[in-house]
Structure 1
Amino acid sequence: MVMKGYDPKTNGGQYLEDLATAYWVSDALFTALEMDLFQTIDDFGIRGASLAELAPKLGANESALKRYLALLKSLGLLGQHQNIYYNQLITKEYLLKESPLYQGDSILWRKNLRDDWTTLKASLIAGGRVNFLPEDISETELNRRRANYIRAMDNVAKLKAQDCTAFFTELSGAILDVGTGSGAMALAFLEAFPDTEATLLDIKQMLPQTQKLVAATTFSDRVCYHPANILEPDWGLTQKYQLIILSNIVHAYAEAENEQVLKTAASHLSDDGIILIHDFFNEHHPVKAHLSDINMFLNTYNGKVFSGAWVSAELGKHDLVTSPLMPLATDTALIFAARSQSALDRLCFKQDTN
């Protein structure tokens, strides 16, 4: 896959062609989700569905649909036995709405980024983002966008949260989730460690969306909400925390903002607490990291992807010791920080990321 970068032992021309046609694959996936194709097959039950059954349900031409289903089969998303099509395990786990690890909202949110990517040349010439929301956008539309965004980020966070909790063998006390979004990362820790409670911190415009998602879980009685702008030096908090989570926060800002965010986070860390930073880092999965960096360039005012070395150095300025960069099996990695090495030593760093 092109996300792995070029292997000089392979055909270079083919690699370039694969780069040029990568959008074919993503558009095939987007279309299946928009047509509810996988859900429709699932509705037929365990036996699957024939082409003749699917075509009218999807409102598709039967001959054209047959060719499209062959593509989805070649991508490993569908299986076929004689004239019956069925969802493969990957589809059942990630592309059916009732699945706990459903990724459809995240995938379709990425489709919505395509317009921004068409401005890449103009943004390179201008030196920054050129595609902005209209000035007269309504609060209703903004809330719709926030809801779509938070559902997308909830999909992603659920995919990676259990990998993060696995580094902890025990945890009790107060958790602070900075820029919480859906709250999924904190909720994973609440589920894994019953003697914890969480403060979910985000801007006041986002927290109503967070509350809707948390209300659908069994953890709402162990959660409190705190509106704050994390770019301000004072978050209005009065306590120290055993775990402070910054998940996909660092890449949303540039150096100056992150220096302030990390400083404030460190000030709220208990003596034996842990800061967990989950993000893209240039040292891990570099193609995806640099693509994510350009995505920030196109979609934010000054977001960027940093090296783990830079983040660790910033944490060190606040008398914190840090772990090595801990890659996950996905495209992101973790850095842990604490006031003492003994606090870090309580973590389980021998993770299977294969």
Structure 2
Amino acid sequence: MQIQPPTISDAPLWDRLMGNYTFACLMVAAQLNICGLIEEGCNTSEKLARKLQLSHKGINHYLLILNHLGYISIENNQLKNTKLAKNYLDKTSPYYWGEVLLDPFSIYDINHLDKKILTSLKCEYELECKGRSVTDMWQNDEMDNESAAAFTRLMHSQGFASAVKAASNGTFKSVNTLLDAGAGSGTIALAFCDAYPDRNALLFDLGPVCETAKEYVEKFNKKEQITVVKGDLFSANWPTGFDGICFSNVLHDWQEATCENLLSKAFSLLPKGGHIFIHDMLLDESQLTPSLFSFHLFMNHGSQLFSEQQLVQLLTITGFKNPLCHKALGYFSVVSAQKA
């Protein structure tokens, strides 16, 4: 019997197979500081190869990948950084993604992901730090200073650009004093205070996290506007004196019941007319990246991304009114509501 040709191309399999290299190439760009070297004058493949003492042939292949990914342009053998690279691969940029790309906890190690997927499907979640569950360490306030600092910097790299975009769009215009709850580096507090120099924010998180957050507050010259308050989001008394609360990249780490408790706590503390904000990537099952990120959260914490509809439902259950969705940056949005 004659072998029949396939009824569909195998190109998608090749795309996914070769796609394993794309993030690895960005990680190497951060490790070698490719963007910085181009800005310093190593603007040809020959100069880069000589500076890094690497194979010229190999560098040519590698730069072609960065060109296809949109991080550099190559014209007449001259290399230029694109806006994408200048925003996210330049160490001097406030939106530098190096803390993610250097992957200090091997979260994105391709050699480990298949095993991690299978483990998580058995409901055994394994984002670990020094042999312990990261989720348990956060919830029990047992994260050591070094690990907390690394995680805080990583999350800042992922979240700051969207926070600034949201604040610049006027998302928080109704607020005079904003509580950044579970703040991490204070991406929302920093962005809010930069957009409104006459207003103030409270940055609330665990002690080890706050030590790193203070570095960002000082770096962006916001010490006069931002008060850093140490405390456990789950067990400590929250600070007072605010008319807005924001959970930025917080709820996606927790089960729905825990999120409902946090929103109920926020409702009880807000004054009448106060506003709640949830800054996060929204689940859209028609898009691959949010679906992948939601599965990534499941693998790490047994948690999930929420869709706009799910967040609105949580806000309604906990007493909030007039929900709105504000576009931020890329896949990120801010869902807001009011205590009527």
TM-score for both structures, normalised by structure 1: 0.82
Shift of 1:182: 0.8
Distance 1:108 1:285, change over 3 A: farther
Aligned pairs (5 A) from 1:19-98? 19-44=16-41, 49-98=43-92
Shift of 1:38: 1.7
Deviation at 1:29, TM superposition (A): 1.4
Asked whether the 8 Å contact 1:315–1:322 carries over to 2, the reply is: no
Equivalent of 2:194, from 188, 191, 194? 191
Partner of 2:296: 295
Deviation of residue 131 (structure 1)?
A: 5.5
Structure 2 CA distance for partners of 1:49 and 1:164, relative to 1, 3 Å: closer
Question: How many angstroms does 1:250 deviate by?
Answer: 0.8
More deviation, 168-177/211-220? 168-177
For the residues of structure 2 that align with 1:307 and 1:213, how far apart are their CA atoms?
A: 30
Amino acid at match of 1:97: K
Whichever residue aligns with residue 163 of structure 1, its letter is: K
- TM superposition shift of 1:320: 1.1
Select between 55-64 and 302-311 the one with higher mean Cα deviation: 302-311
The whole-number CA distance in structure 2 between the counterparts of 1:293 and 1:194 is 35
Are residues 1:331 and 2:339 paired? no
Unaligned runs of 5+ in 2: 1-7, 138-142
Which residue number in structure 1 is paired with residue 242 of structure 2? 241
Shift of residue 169, structure 1, vs aligned partner: 7.6
> What does the per-residue CA deviation read over 1:56-102, in whole Å, with 9 as the maximum and x for residues that have no partner?
21121122212222222233222233333222232122211112322
Contact 1:119 1:298 in 2 (8 A): no
Counting matched residue pairs gives 322
2:4 is matched with which residue?
none
On the 8 A contact 1:38/1:96 being kept in 2, the answer is yes
Q: What letter is aligned with 2:36?
A: Q
Tell me the distance in 2 between the aligned counterparts of 1:295 and 1:33: 22
- State the alpha-carbon separation in 1 of the partners of residues 15 and 239 from structure 2: 53
1:173 is displaced (CA, Å) by 2.7
Is the contact between residue 277 and residue 335 of structure 1 (CA under 8 Å) also seen in structure 2?
Answer: yes
Letter of the structure 2 residue corresponding to residue 148 of structure 1: A
Residue number among 198, 204, 208 corresponding to 2:211 in the alignment = 208
- 1:5 is matched with none
SS in 2 for 1:195: coil
2:319–2:339 Cα contact (<8 Å) kept: yes
Matched, 1:173 2:176: yes
How much has 1:206 moved relative to structure 2? 1.0
Alignment deviations for residues 248-299 of structure 1 (CA, whole Å, 9 cap, x no partner): 1110100221111111111121212211101122237642222122211222
SS class of match (1:220): coil
SS in 2 for 1:27: helix
AA in 2 matched with 1:69 = L
Q: Work out which of the residue numbers 163, 173, 179 in structure 1 matches 2:165.
A: 163
Structure 1: distance between partners of 2:100 and 2:40: 22
C-alpha distance in 2 between matches for 1:13 and 1:111: 34
- The answer to whether the 8 Å contact 1:50/1:84 transfers is yes
Where do 1:275-354 residues align within 5 Å?
275-283=276-284, 286-300=287-301, 302-340=302-340
Alignment counterpart, residue 13 of structure 1, candidates 10, 14, 17 = 10
Q: 1:231 to 1:288 in 2, by over 3 A?
A: farther
Alignment of 1:84-123 (within 5 A): 84-109=78-103, 112-115=106-109, 117-123=113-119
Q: Distance in 1 between matches of 2:37 and 2:79?
A: 11
The letter for the 1-side match of 2:154 is A
Percent identity between the aligned chains? 22
Q: Does 1:229 align with 2:232?
A: yes
Aligned pair in 2 of structure 1 residues 293, 76: CA closer, same or farther (>3 Å)?
closer
SS of alignment partner, residue 114 of structure 1: coil
Instruction: Go from structure 1 to structure 2 and tell me whether the alpha carbon gap of 1:311 and 1:74 turns closer, same or farther (over 3 Å shift).
Output: closer
| C-alpha contact (below 8 Å) 2:178/2:243 kept by paired residues | yes
Distance of aligned partners of 1:148 and 1:12 in 2 relative to their CA distance in 1, 3 Å threshold = farther
Which AA in structure 2 matches 1:242? D
Q: AA paired with 1:127?
A: C
Query: Does the aligned pair in 1 maintain the 2:120–2:126 contact within 8 Å?
Result: no
Work out whether residues 104 and 150 of structure 2, in 8 Å CA contact, stay in contact via their aligned partners in 1.
no
Change (3 A) 1:239 1:77: closer
Q: Which amino acid aligns with 2:305?
A: V
Task: Give the aligned CA root-mean-square deviation in angstroms.
Answer: 2.7
Does the CA contact (< 8 Å) of 2:282 and 2:333 recur in 1? yes
Q: What do the CA deviations read for 1:7-33 (whole angstroms, capped 9, x no partner)?
A: xxxx76323332232211111111121
Question: Compared with structure 1, are the counterparts of its residues 325 and 132 closer, same or farther at alpha carbon in structure 2 (3 Å cutoff)?
Answer: same
CA contact (8 A) 1:171 1:195 kept: no
- Secondary structure (helix, strand or coil) at the match of 2:271 reads strand
Preserved CA contact (<8 Å) 1:284 1:327 = no
